[in-house]
Structure formats: C-alpha cells, structure tokens
Amino acid sequence: MIPIRLDHVGKRYGANNTVVNDIDVTIASGEFFTLLGPSGCGKSTTLRMIAGFVAPTTGRILFGDRDVTSTPPNKRGTGMVFQNYALFPHLNVAQNVAYGLVTRKVRTPERDQRVARALESVGLGRYADRRIEQLSGGQQQRVALARALVISPDVLLLDEPLSNLDAKLREETRTEIRRAQREAQITSVYVTHDQAEAMAMSDRIAVLDAGRLHQIGTPREIYNRPATAFVARFIGRSNVLDAKMVGGSGETAVVRLPGGATIEAARPADMATTDEVAVSVRPENLRLTEPGGGMLDAVVHAVEFTGANSQFEVESGGLKLSITAPDSAALPRPGDTVGVRAEPGHAWLVAR
Amino acid sequence: MSTVTTPPPAVAAPRTRRLPARDSDRFVYVLALPVVAILVFLVLIPMLATARSSAGGAGFADNYRSLLSGASGHALLLSVGISLASVLFCGALGTFLAVLLTRFEFPGRRLLSVFAVLPMALPPLIGAVAFVLLYSETGIVPRTLHSLTGLSPASSSIGGVSGVILVHAFTMYPYFYLSVSAALAGQDASLEEAATNLGAGRLRVWRTVLLPMLTPALVSGALLTFMMSMASFTAPQLYNVQTLTMEIVSARTSGNEALAATQATALSLVSIVFLVAMRWYQGRRVHRSLSKGSAAVRRGLSSGAARVAAGIGSLLLTLVLMAPVLVIVLVSFSVDGAWTTQVLPPEYTAANYQRIFTDPKSLMPVSVSVQTSLMATLAAILVGAAAAWVVARWKLAGRWTLDVVIMLPWALPGTVIGVNLVTAFNEPTAANLGLTLVGTLWILPVAYFVRFVPLVFRSTGASLEQLDPTLEEAARSLGAGPVRVLRTVTFPLVLRGVMAGALLAFVDGVGEYVASVVIYPPGTVPMSVEIYNRIYASEFGTAAAFGSLQIVLILFVLFASRRLEDGPRRRPRRRRTPAVKAS
C-alpha cells in the first residue's frame, strides 16, 4: 500500500502536440482513483506514464518515496488490466495467471497455490486448463484481473477494463473489481470515459479534457459542485447558461441570464471575481410552475417520456433549458407556456 | 480542489528530460547491426560491384548508350513489351476468375476455385517446360489437332514471343487473382446495397462502387506482374526469345562481362523503381471498407442452360489449368528418347523415379538442391526473422530504408542476383573481405539465401503486425524484461509466420533455376539445372520425374503453410498444473 505522486507530469509529442498538460496530484494509499474524460483527453496516456510505457516529457512520478520516472515497466511492480485484456493466446488460463509469478521467480508449490487461489477468487477455479479463446469476454476479463492481482502489486492500473462487456456484465464486474481492490487494499488508478462507472466505483475522480485537468474530487463533489462548464456538462446532464454577475456577496451570487431573468447561485470560494460567468443547473433542480409563477416563462418544445420522469425541452427568448419532472397526468404539452423556477441552493457558478 | 488554472511549477528550471533509451530499445539496435552488415555484404556490395564493372570494356558511357540501340536496346524493348502484354492478359484472366469465383455460384465453382491457384505449385522452369510440351510446334495439343483435323502443327502451335506471353499469362495471373479475390471478399455487402438503394443499377454499382474499390488490388497486381515478367528468364530461354535477361546471360557466356553488368544494372534500376512504387502505393491511404459488414452473397445462375454452360466452362478451364501439372506427371513415366513424333509418349515406365533414387549420378542434383536450400533456409530464418523484428520495433528514422534493402533481392531478377554474386565474389578483394565463392559449393546457398530471405522477412513481418502490442506490454508490466518478452511472448506467437516463410523459402530454393544457371560450380549441379540439361538432351522422362518431385514438394509445402497461417486450433493441453517454463 503506497501513495502515487504525479509531480507536474506532462507529455508532449513533437514541438506543440501536448497530450497531457502538467498534471499534479497525489493518489492516497489504497485509494481507488479514476481518470475520467472523453476520448483523446490524455487519460490513457497518463495511465501509461504511470505504468512506464510512455516516458513523461516533464515532471516526475513517485511510488511512495521511490522515483520511478525512468524505471522500466517490468521493474515498477504494477499490475495492469488492459482494455482488450491482453491475455497471452498461446498460454492457457493458469499459465497466463502464473506469468507474473514466473518472472518474479516464485517457485512451484507456492506458485501453483497462488494461481489456484487467484482463479478461485474470481470464480474461475475450474477453468485453469482452458485455452483463452474458449472463454467468454467476461471470463477473460476476470482472468486479466486475476493475473494482475496475483503478483500482489503495489499499484493496480485499469485501462477501460469494462468497455468490451455488455451493460449487465459491466455492472456486475465493476462491483467485483471494487471488492477485489478493497480486499487487497491496493492503490488503484482506473481509466474510463463512462461517468456513471466513475461515479459508482471511485473514491476520487480526476476529470480531464484535451490534456488538461479540470477538477479532482469525490464523485459527490464533482456532481454537485462542478468546477468548470466542461465538468458540469460531462458529468450527468446540466444546463450551463452564460450569465452576468449582478449582485450578491460571499458564498451567494445573483446573476442575470440572457433574457433578463435573475437567479441566485452558490459561488465557489476560489472563483475569480469576474462579471462574465456561467451558471450550472441540473435538469432535476428546475421546476415547472404556472406561467408567471417562476423566474421566467418559457414555451415547451418537446416532451420525452422516460419512465419515472419526463424530459422537457423549453425555450425562453433564445435560452434553451432541459427540465426533468416526475411524471403525472397534468403535465404541459408541446406549445404550452410554462413558468420555470430553480430549486434554491442548486444553481452553481462555474468558470466559463 | 479545482485546478482550472494550474500554477506555474514551483521549481523554475524546466523539468524537461529525455529518458535514457530503454533496454528494449537498445536491444533492437544491437540486433540491427549484424542484420544490416549481412544485407550490405550480400546484397548491396554485390550490386555496387556489378554497377562498377559496368564501367569496364567499352567504358561507362558507351556501355549504357548501347542499351538504347542494337541487340540490348532491342532486348530491353522486347522485355518491356512482353511485360506489358503479360500484365494485360494476367489482369484479364485473374480478375475474371476472381470475380467469377467470389461473386457467382454455379456448378463446378468449388472445383475451379481449388485449381485456380494451381499455377503457384509450378516451379518456374517446370511451368515453362510444361507449356512447351503442351503448346509448342512439337507439343501435345497441336499434334492432337493435326491428327484429328489435319491442321498443320505449325499453324496451331504457340511459340516465340506469344509462347512467352502465354506462359506468363497462365503462371502469373494468380497475382491478380489473389489480390482481387481478397479485395472482393473484404468488401462490405452493405456498400452495394446502399448504392442499389440509392437507385444504381448493377452495371452502375460495378462502375461506381466496386471497381474504384478494386483499384488498389489491380494496381498492386499489375506492378507485381510487370516486375516478375521483366525478371522472367526460363520462358524466354525455352522459347529462345532474346529478352534482357537472356541478353545478360548470353553476354556473360560470350565473355562480355561489362555489357552483362550494364544490362544487369539497368534491369536492377527498373526493379528498384517498381519496388519503391509498390511500397509507396501500398503505403498510401486506400479505399477500404470502414464497416465490418458481411460479405456479399454469391449470385446464383437462374436458367438451366446457363448452369450447364457454366458447369462445362469451369470443367474446361479446370482442365486447362491442370494440364501443365498433368503433362509433367505423365511425361515423368515416359521412356527417355522413345517420344519422337507421337501425340503422347508411346511407352511408360517407373524407371525414371527408380533411377533418381538409386543412381548416385541422378540423386546428386536432388541432394545438392535439398542441402544447399536447407542451409540457405536456416540462415534466412535467423536473418529474416531478426530483420522483421528490428523493422517492426525500429523507432528512429531509417526504418523505411532497411525495409527496402531487405526486400530488394525479392524485386531483383534472379539473373541479376546471380551476376551480382559472381561479380562480387569472383576473386579476393577488399570489398568481399577476401572471400571467393565462385567455383565453390557455397555460392549456391548464398544465392538462395539472398533470393529468399525476403519471404521469411515478409511472413514474419505480417505475423508481427497482427501481434497485439498490448500483449508485450502486459508481459512487461508483469515483470518480464525485454529478452524474456521476446522469448516467451513475441517469438511463440510469430513462430507460425516464421515457419510459413521458411517453408516457402526452402521449396523455392529447391526449385531455383534462374540464378543457379549463372553461378553453379562445375561438378555440383542443382536440380533445376539438371532438368534443363536433360531436356536439352531430350531425356524428357527423367527431366519430368525431377519436376514431379518438385511439384509434390511444393504442394506439400503450400498445404503445410496454409495450415500454419490459418492456425488449426491447437488442442487444449491436458495439464492440471500451471506450467510456464521457469528459468
């Protein structure tokens, strides 16, 4: 159990193709830390720098007190689960799991025991002799996890390990991964583009976009208090509206939306004092009222029934809003005029 | 919490650093050294030796001026003309067969598709001999026509330049057939369906969708066929057509080494241009189906008459394709000297085969060819596989050069390789490190190695390309050093590719004729040269028996390498305990 420190780590290809821009973070011992972002955001490159497959252009990587920046990947003591699992097709299940123990010169009675235990713990005890191609995707995924965990690594790295599984298996497997990680108490770095997966599994999440770190925080912090417009839009659904600061003080600000409506929004302590800001309101924190009963009136453009809720797209003088309302018989229909009100305390200022 | 605006690093000094080269990187470059040294010594230096010797005799300028006039100018034009015609005929035949067999379902399709690649089982010399036995003035077909209709054999025979083109068309069309079939098979049926859905008729679909997507296959087939036709030597020799390759050999035989060197250098340049053109063309972005849809369904023939016609047609075509092999096998049982003016050999015996395996004089060519080819193959495995790995992992500039240098012998005509080696290793010089190979047995394995190392290189390279790089990364992250990764992951996974290439190299070495005839030392005659000598002495039976042995060997190897490439699912090992070799 060791912490990982990324000390101002950056990666640049050529003169001006920066894929990772100065990431500075400490991942605590035993923490399950997720790098989240859309494809091309630099999350995989960051993980591969931690694994040692990509050399950072700037900065240092430390495992505990050990600077591993120029340590080759085979000397770093990481266990890694690859997106395509990277199981050796010429070795059977048990041989795959044993591979890391052989390189560590673990001798046979102990090696066989550890392999058997690792396979048992992922529920594949009976599959030791199978060839890789005889396994289903989910089983291959668990072999990959067993292979990474059997060497008792200091650090567990997971590169979108669930993206090749179907939805149901994905949810089962993420519980399994988290359970295994908690039991072994391994500091883990998890890469995904799926925000629901990140929210469900992580102790903390780092949100990246275009090689830049936008925010680090617990899933709750990131959802409720997004630091930037990008985070607000990427995590869940959100109405991110350009606004002008017109009043308020301390932790509360009053901003005016285009069209004239004003709204009270919470203001992060470290936000610079500017007039041009954006305000983020989640669709479920907006309420429909009688016309004239809210901060603004809007025309309903579309209604989508999604089961327990209905999604409304409304427009007011060029300002488009998404609103989630619990389903009921008396809901407005397209063309109706409605009033819109924001739940107090749920609007949040973000950098534009 | 939020780090939207990152503060400047606490330390002012830039943290940029270049990591020391990883040990795995260094290993690539260490391995590259001997590979490059061998290639330079056996490929580049001999080529330069020939180029240098082309300045001898009448002098550099006069030698090259003679290429534009007189006999060699005529030979160059003839070679180009024959090659263009070969491309045309091969393209028509190969594309026709590919479209027919991949897009239509008809009686006899499976039979025809099995025999469509049969010409690949013919060693170059045997293929040409078979066509002479079948279609020349003294061949079986004109004689049959004569005995049936009284038509004079001279008017129904195919010889001279047309004979060469005929041999090329029927032995080289697989270059088109294979590339076009692959392109057609890889096409997504939904593209056609989309075009049809948008209102295009069948002809328009072909013209606007299918043909444009086949262009890469057609271009690479054409470049390859042109190159192989320019290099062709056996068919011109048997039909006595003075192409450039023939001119080179006759110039050498008549002692005009400078002229031979000039012609060889010119031919090398043409080959290099074509090799580079092919590499460039293949490296370009080409039309490729982006989706992974299903392949098009074969269209059946509806009318009964069409089905009968198709069945008879494919049977006839199969017979034509099989005829060369059949005639070689048939003649191999004929009694030497008994076949004179009859349609078919009149007497049959198994003595030709018996003699090969009992008479030391007849067995000698077999054992020379097998042994020298085996030596060459072992060397080709070491160098070719290592080179493929180096090229695949080379991260610095210059990877392209290495790739072209190792593929160069594949593009060079066998005649030119023979001339190059003879020129470079004729007498001890500084450039060949005092090594004299001419007149020794060693020149044969060296020539076979040079000619066929590209086969191992290419098939290993193809396997390496298919190898998922994350497998090697997974092994690294599990604690394996670069050498262990190579030994326990990379090598076992590309072994099939190495073996497939090595088998082809071996069998091509056993059947090699074109370079052998230029370089073979007195007293040790390789199999193909012996075949030619026997034919020259009208001992067709023994010659064909040697040829049949080569065909059997090739068929066996084609079968084995297809199994290697397709990879029959290995049986699961019955072992209870995990067993990765510890070491």
Domain ranges of chain B: 22-51+333-342+349-566, 61-283
Most confident listed range (A211-215, A252-256, B193-197): A211-215
Smallest Cα distance from B381 to chain A, Å: 21
pLDDT at B284: 67
Answer yes or no: is pLDDT of B14 > 70.
no
Q: Which residues contact A65 (CB under 8 A, 6 or more apart)?
A: none
Rg of chain B on CA atoms, in Å = 27
Partner-chain contact A102 B20, CB within 8 Å: no
Q: Which residue has the tokens 């399950």?
A: A32
Rounded distance between C-alpha atoms, residue B299 and residue A319, angstroms: 57
CA dihedral A55, A58, A62, A68 (to 10 degrees): 30
Partner-chain contact B19 A107, CB within 8 Å: no
For residue A148, the chain B residue with the least C-alpha distance is B478
B444 compared with B201, residue with greater pLDDT: B444
pLDDT at A168: 86
For residue A11, the chain B residue with the least C-alpha distance is B16
Q: Which fold has domain B61-283?
A: MetI-like fold (1.10.3720)
pLDDT band of B294, cuts 50, 70, 90: low
Six token digits for residue B120:
């690949």
Helix (H) or strand (E) holding B349, with range, is none
Residues of chain B contacting residue A89, judged by C-beta atoms under 8 Å apart: 471, 493
Q: How many CA atoms lie within 13 A of A311 on its CB side?
A: 11
Partner-chain contact B572 A157, CB within 8 Å: no
| Architecture, CATH, for domain A4-224 | 3-Layer(aba) Sandwich (3.40)
Residues of chain A contacting residue B570, judged by C-beta atoms under 8 Å apart: 131
Quick check: B477 contacting A, CB < 8 Å?
yes
Superfamily (CATH H level) for A237-350: Nucleic acid-binding proteins (2.40.50.140)
CB B448 within 8 A of CB B376: yes
Q: What is the mean pLDDT of chain A?
A: 89
The CA-to-CA distance between both ends of chain A, in Å, stands at: 39
For residue B572, the chain A residue with the least C-alpha distance is A131
Cross-chain CB nearest to A102 (options B468, B492, B582): B582
Burial B530-567 (b: 16+ CB within 10 A, else e): bbbebbeeebbbbbbbbbbbbbebbeebbeebeebeee
Q: What is the DSSP letter of B490?
A: I
CB B450 within 8 A of CB B411: no
CB A31 within 8 A of CB A7: no
B7 compared with B500, residue with greater pLDDT: B500
CB B227 within 8 A of CB B87: no
Rounded distance between C-alpha atoms, residue B487 and residue A88, angstroms: 13
Interface test with B, best of A75, A88, A147 (most B CBs within 10 A): A88
B130 compared with B398, residue with greater pLDDT: B130
Q: Lowest-pLDDT range, A217-221, A325-329, B275-279? A: A325-329
Partner-chain contact B477 A51, CB within 8 Å: yes
pLDDT at A327: 75
> Which class for B123: exposed (0-12), middle (13-18), buried (19 or more C-beta within 10 A)?
buried
Which has the closest alpha carbon to A57: A5, A10, A25? A10
List A9's β-bridge partners, or say none. Answer: A23
CB B139 within 8 A of CB B133: yes
Which has the closest alpha carbon to B279: B117, B410, B450, B173? B410
Partner-chain contact A58 B24, CB within 8 Å: no
What's the residue count for chain B? 583
For residue B491, the chain A residue with the least C-alpha distance is A90
Helix (H) or strand (E) holding A144, with range, is helix A137-149
Residues of chain B contacting residue A76, judged by C-beta atoms under 8 Å apart: 477
Partner-chain contact A131 B15, CB within 8 Å: no
Answer yes or no: is pLDDT of B8 > 80.
no
B485 compared with B154, residue with greater pLDDT: B485
3-state secondary structure of A232: helix
For residue B1, the chain A residue with the least C-alpha distance is A216
Quick check: B287 contacting A, CB < 8 Å?
no
Answer yes or no: is pLDDT of B569 > 80.
no
Which has the closest alpha carbon to A189: A346, A31, A307, A73? A31
Quick check: B12 contacting A, CB < 8 Å?
no
Q: Lowest-pLDDT range, B45-54, B60-69, B164-173, B529-538? A: B60-69
Residues of chain B contacting residue A77, judged by C-beta atoms under 8 Å apart: 479
Answer yes or no: is pLDDT of B4 > 50.
no
**Which amino acid does the sequence have at B473?**
E
Cross-chain CB nearest to B19 (options A22, A70, A91): A70
Diameter over CA atoms, chain A: 78
Partner-chain contact B572 A151, CB within 8 Å: no
CB B459 within 8 A of CB B506: no
Partner-chain contact B15 A59, CB within 8 Å: yes
Six token digits for residue B494:
């590309």
3-state SS track over A274-320: CCEEEEEECHHHEEEECCCCCCEEEEEEEEEECCCEEEEEEEECCEE
Q: How many CB atoms lie within 10 A of CB A313?
A: 16
pLDDT band of B288, cuts 50, 70, 90: low
Rg of chain A on CA atoms, in Å = 24
B411 compared with B121, residue with greater pLDDT: B411
Six token digits for residue A161:
């390990």
Superfamily (CATH H level) for B22-51+333-342+349-566: MetI-like (1.10.3720.10)
Partner-chain contact A24 B6, CB within 8 Å: yes
Rounded distance between C-alpha atoms, residue B179 and residue B181, angstroms: 6
Q: How many CB atoms lie within 10 A of CB B42?
A: 24
Answer yes or no: is pLDDT of B211 > 50.
yes
Partner-chain contact B572 A351, CB within 8 Å: no
B15 compared with B74, residue with greater pLDDT: B74
pLDDT at B565: 66
> Which class for A349: exposed (0-12), middle (13-18), buried (19 or more C-beta within 10 A)?
buried
Interface test with A, best of B5, B11, B580, B583 (most A CBs within 10 A): B580
Partner-chain contact B2 A89, CB within 8 Å: no
Q: What angle do CA B441, B443, B447 make, to 5 degrees?
A: 135
Residues of chain A contacting residue B568, judged by C-beta atoms under 8 Å apart: none
Partner-chain contact A88 B471, CB within 8 Å: yes
CB B332 within 8 A of CB B126: no
Rounded distance between C-alpha atoms, residue A109 and residue A91, angstroms: 20
B173 compared with B68, residue with greater pLDDT: B173
Give pLDDT tens digits for B43-52. Answer: 999 999 998 8
Answer yes or no: is pLDDT of B20 > 50.
no
Between strands B104-105 and B299-300, the pairing is parallel
Q: Percent of chain B scored above 90 by pLDDT?
A: 33
Phi, psi (rounded to 5 degrees) for A261: -65, 145
Answer yes or no: is pLDDT of B543 > 70.
yes
Domain ranges in chain A with CATH number 3.40.50.300: 4-224
Size of interface A-B (CB pairs under 8 A): 151
Answer yes or no: is pLDDT of B480 > 70.
yes
Q: Which of residues 194-253 of B touch A (CB under 8 A)?
A: none
Partner-chain contact A102 B470, CB within 8 Å: no
Residues of chain A contacting residue B471, judged by C-beta atoms under 8 Å apart: 86, 88-89
Answer yes or no: is pLDDT of A205 > 90.
yes
Smallest Cα distance from A333 to chain B, Å: 38
Residues of chain A contacting residue B24, judged by C-beta atoms under 8 Å apart: 72
Answer yes or no: is pLDDT of B579 > 50.
no
> Which class for B521: exposed (0-12), middle (13-18), buried (19 or more C-beta within 10 A)?
middle
Q: How many CA atoms lie within 13 A of B202 on its CB side?
A: 2
> Which class for A308: exposed (0-12), middle (13-18), buried (19 or more C-beta within 10 A)?
exposed
For residue A230, the chain B residue with the least C-alpha distance is B4
pLDDT band of B15, cuts 50, 70, 90: very low
Cross-chain CB nearest to A104 (options B3, B479, B492): B479
Interface test with B, best of A11, A95, A231 (most B CBs within 10 A): A95
The mean pLDDT of B65-78, rounded to a whole number, is 84
Give pLDDT tens digits for A9-46. Answer: 999 988 888 899 999 999 999 999 999 999 889 999 99
The mean pLDDT of B165-177, rounded to a whole number, is 92
pLDDT at B449: 96
Residues of chain B contacting residue A75, judged by C-beta atoms under 8 Å apart: 479
pLDDT band of B187, cuts 50, 70, 90: confident
pLDDT band of A145, cuts 50, 70, 90: very high
A272 compared with A331, residue with greater pLDDT: A331
CB B388 within 8 A of CB B547: no
Answer yes or no: is pLDDT of B153 > 90.
no
Residues of chain A contacting residue B470, judged by C-beta atoms under 8 Å apart: 82-84, 86
Partner-chain contact B580 A228, CB within 8 Å: no
Interface test with B, best of A99, A101, A141, A156 (most B CBs within 10 A): A99
pLDDT at B573: 38
CA dihedral B297, B303, B308, B311 (to 10 degrees): -10
Give pLDDT tens digits for A73-95. Answer: 888 989 999 998 999 988 999 99
Diameter over CA atoms, chain B: 102
User: Strands of A66-67's sheet, edge to edge?
Assistant: A17-27, A4-13, A58-63, A66-67
Helix (H) or strand (E) holding A23, with range, is strand A17-27
CB A157 within 8 A of CB A81: yes
B122 compared with A26, residue with greater pLDDT: A26
Quick check: B292 contacting A, CB < 8 Å?
no
Quick check: B436 contacting A, CB < 8 Å?
no
Smallest Cα distance from A75 to chain B, Å: 6
Cross-chain CB nearest to A214 (options B4, B470, B492): B4
pLDDT at B7: 36
Q: Which residues contact B229 (CB under 8 A, 6 or more apart)?
A: B79, B82, B83, B86, B87, B168, B172
Partner-chain contact B476 A74, CB within 8 Å: yes
For residue B9, the chain A residue with the least C-alpha distance is A8
Alpha helices in B394-539 (DSSP H): 399-411, 414-424, 443-466, 469-477, 482-485, 491-510, 516-519, 527-536
Smallest Cα distance from B482 to chain A, Å: 9
**Which amino acid does the sequence have at B209?**
V
pLDDT at B3: 36
Q: How far is CA A124 from CA A115, A144, A185, in A?
A: 11, 11, 22
